[in-house]
Amino acid sequence: MNTPVVLSSTFHHADDNHYLRGEASDTIRAFEDAVGALEGGHAVAFASGMGAIAAIAEGQPSGTTAVVPTAAYSGSVAIFAEQQRLGRMSVRPVDIVDTDAVLAALPGADLLWLETVTNPLIGVADLPALIAGARETGARVVVDATFSTPLLVRPLSLGADVVVHSATKYLAGHSDLLMGVLVTASAEDAEVWRTRRTLTGAIPGALECYLALRGIRTLAVRMERAQANAMELARRLDAHPAVTRVRYPGLPSDPGHERAARLHAGFGAMISFEVAGDAADATRLCESLRLISHATSLGGVESLIERRAMHQPDADMGTPPNLLRFSVGIEHVEDLWDDLSRAMRPS
């Protein structure tokens, strides 16, 4: 019932494999087969989400023009800025939630970088409209679907060229490993990324692949429970006097609601909310929680919360100082609400 964990860096020449960095092992390929099947393409696993993202960003030809989000996962924004600083790429930053702004930035661009749901502002991009625009102007489209998982959005089926995930998050689901994966519609493209992985040494470990595969087995039930919790908590937070704004596309009042309802098979389990007061009040709230952990990252079975603007790159991209990014886990919803409502009670 289980894929063997192949712990070998080298193989007898009589075998098909020779050396792990260049050829992967059965454990790695089993993970790739599972994610490839979920996304409907050819998957290449990496040692982290950033490993996959770097393979793509750094693998573009010199002189590439890239349309990239102004506000998205800070590592992705930073790696494109770095390519520009090195003189390899010209970057056009746009708000990817603003479809007209993206379409206006596309002529002459080679690459469009999108997120299904933006980190941490929870904006929802209109993928079909943006992908159609990029098709017309000839830009290749890469979509980071970490927040959505293939259960909610499958960008390749909408015409994207590549979908990437930080498998560290929902796919693995237990906050116990770092992994990334990219999936392409074309087998030839997958070979190109595999070669980059070999050259940059970004192959994941076998134990990580085994654990991530085990995580994928429960992805559907974890997402179902986490989303149901998120919907209920978003409603309650929205009605709470200590909360000034809730960003969750499941709320009919959210600017992304119409798009998410139309394009996604669920509203996900990431909520960002702004608390009354300043950054210190928001941090105090995080520190007084007992069940929800004050920690970075997302997508695990346990709920995590953090004030994103504590990280300078997030503050620089306009994340409000009092915004908390809340990765809703699979605990009992009443336990989560007890924790939140106690922490928000005036002392």
Ligand X SMILES: Cc1ncc(COP(=O)(O)O)c(C=O)c1O
State the residues that interact with ligand X by CB under 6 A.
Answer: 48-50, 73, 75, 119, 144, 146, 166, 168, 178, 180
Shortest separation between residue 168's beta carbon and ligand X, angstroms: 4
Q: Are 162 and 295 in contact (CB under 8 A)?
A: no
Of 123, 153, 126, nearest to 40 (Cα)? Answer: 153
Shortest separation between residue 96's beta carbon and ligand X, angstroms: 13
Q: What is the 3-state secondary structure (H, E, C) of 37-70?
A: HHHCCEEEEECCHHHHHHHHHHCCCCCEEEEEEC
Q: Closest CB to ligand X among 165 and 259? A: 165
Shortest separation between residue 190's beta carbon and ligand X, angstroms: 19
Cα 272 to the chain's mean position, in Å?
A: 15
Phi/psi at 126 (nearest 5 deg)? -85, 80
How far CA 243 is from CA of 54, 238, 256, 268, in Å, comes to 37, 7, 19, 20
- Taking the C-alpha atoms of residue 47 and residue 3, their distance in angstroms, rounded to an integer, is 19
* 280: number of Cβ within 10 Å: 11
Q: Are 320 and 309 in contact (CB under 8 A)?
A: yes
- Taking the C-alpha atoms of residue 277 and residue 322, their distance in angstroms, rounded to an integer, is 7
What torsion, rounded to 10 degrees, do the Cα atoms 116, 117, 118, 121 define? 160
Of 176, 169, 294, nearest to 222 (Cα)? Answer: 169
- C-beta nearest to ligand X: residue: 49
Shortest separation between residue 346's beta carbon and ligand X, angstroms: 33
Shortest separation between residue 307's beta carbon and ligand X, angstroms: 15
CA count, 13 A, side-chain hemisphere, 70: 14
Q: Closest CB to ligand X among 139 and 212? A: 212
* 272: number of Cβ within 10 Å: 22
Number of helices (H) and strands (E) in the chain: give both, helices first: 14, 12
